[in-house]
């Protein structure tokens, strides 16, 4: 246990480490933008990462989105029934899913699945000196490993979010149809009647920001992993936790900005 005289030193050391990490992360992000616009572009690797991030995430997102649509509809119906407003159920579900739930749920799933995968993969490459070997072989490992994964995550998240929203609306329709025998045309007509272009644009921008954050955090933690296999596990865990934390912060900021545009 540190003595009283050592505590100020430990606090100062912790603050120094924090700002050093922030500076290192900032340089990592700036390097990404610099490398992303300079040839050579590894299109084949970007396509491969889109397959790994996008296609391999479809089964989990399909199941999750469908369940969310059913559960949210069943939870909302009793409250609307008390006011005799069950006809507003498709609009309520569509607004909730398309504005918030689809993008947020997709980001959280990808933060857990994709973020941990990227962190563990790059972390294992770092501790086994594969990244150092790429540098010796005159290959830019940052461009090949980091830029391709971040771009793939940024491109895939909006597509996955749109797919999650569609599946969630299908699940909601199934729940409504079982209870009220509503036609699918009537459901989607009422559902999209309250959706504006601002909602769609905000969701797309939000998903791209989420994808960039998840890819960047996973790559940063994995690329800078150390201390053997223990460091690989730590990098994967930190990638998930930090990515989810940043996703929630970005959700609040983007929603507030969209509301300012909508009402002012």
Residue 156 near residue 97, CB atoms below 8 Å: no
DSSP conformation class of 56 = G
Query: In angstroms, rounded to a whole number, what is the distance separating the alpha carbons of residues 151 and 115?
Result: 14
Give the model's pLDDT for residue 131.
85
Query: In angstroms, rounded to a whole number, what is the distance separating the alpha carbons of residues 211 and 150?
Result: 8
Low-confidence ranges of the chain (pLDDT < 50): 1
Give the model's pLDDT for residue 264.
72
Query: In angstroms, rounded to a whole number, what is the distance separating the alpha carbons of residues 61 and 217?
Result: 21
**CA angle, 153 as apex, 149 and 159 as ends, to 5°?**
145
Query: In angstroms, rounded to a whole number, what is the distance separating the alpha carbons of residues 91 and 167?
Result: 16
Distances (CA, A) of 230 to 48, 216, 217, 226, 240: 28, 21, 18, 8, 16
Give the model's pLDDT for residue 1.
47
Residue 66 near residue 168, CB atoms below 8 Å: yes
Query: In angstroms, rounded to a whole number, what is the distance separating the alpha carbons of residues 126 and 120?
Result: 10
Give the model's pLDDT for residue 243.
93
With 0-12 / 13-18 / 19 or more C-beta atoms within 10 angstroms meaning exposed / middle / buried, residue 8 is: exposed
Give the model's pLDDT for residue 178.
85
| Residue count (the chain) | 264
Give the model's pLDDT for residue 13.
66
The pTM score is: 0.89
């Amino acid at each position: 246990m540190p003595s009283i005289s050592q505590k100020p030193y430990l606090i100062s050391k912790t603050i120094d480490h924090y700002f050093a990490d922030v500076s290192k992360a900032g340089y990592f992000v700036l390097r990404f933008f610099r490398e992303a616009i300079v040839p050579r572009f590894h299109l084949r690797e970007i396509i491969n990462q889109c397959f790994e991030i996008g296609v391999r995430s479809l089964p989990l997102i399909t199941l999750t989105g469908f369940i969310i649509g059913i559960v949210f509809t069943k939870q909302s119906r009793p409250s609307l029934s008390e006011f005799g407003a069950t006809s507003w159920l498709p609009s309520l579900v569509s607004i909730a899913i398309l504005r918030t739930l689809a993008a947020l749920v997709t980001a959280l799933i990808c933060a857990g699945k994709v973020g941990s995968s990227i962190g563990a993969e790059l972390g294992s490459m770092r501790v086994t000196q594969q990244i150092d070997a790429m540098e010796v072989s005159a290959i830019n490992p940052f461009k090949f490993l980091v830029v391709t994964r971040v771009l793939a995550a940024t491109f895939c998240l909006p597509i996955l979010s749109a797919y999650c929203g569609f599946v969630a609306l299908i699940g909601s329709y199934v729940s409504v149809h079982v209870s009220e025998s509503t036609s699918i045309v009537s459901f989607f007509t009422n559902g999209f009647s309250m959706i504006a272009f601002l909602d769609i644009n905000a969701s797309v921008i939000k998903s791209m920001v989420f994808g960039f954050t998840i890819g960047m955090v996973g790559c940063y933690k994995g690329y800078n992993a150390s201390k053997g296999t223990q460091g690989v596990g730590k990098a994967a865990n930190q990638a998930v936790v930090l990515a989810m934390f940043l996703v929630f912060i970005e959700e609040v900021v983007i929603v507030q900005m969209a509301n300012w545009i909508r009402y002012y």
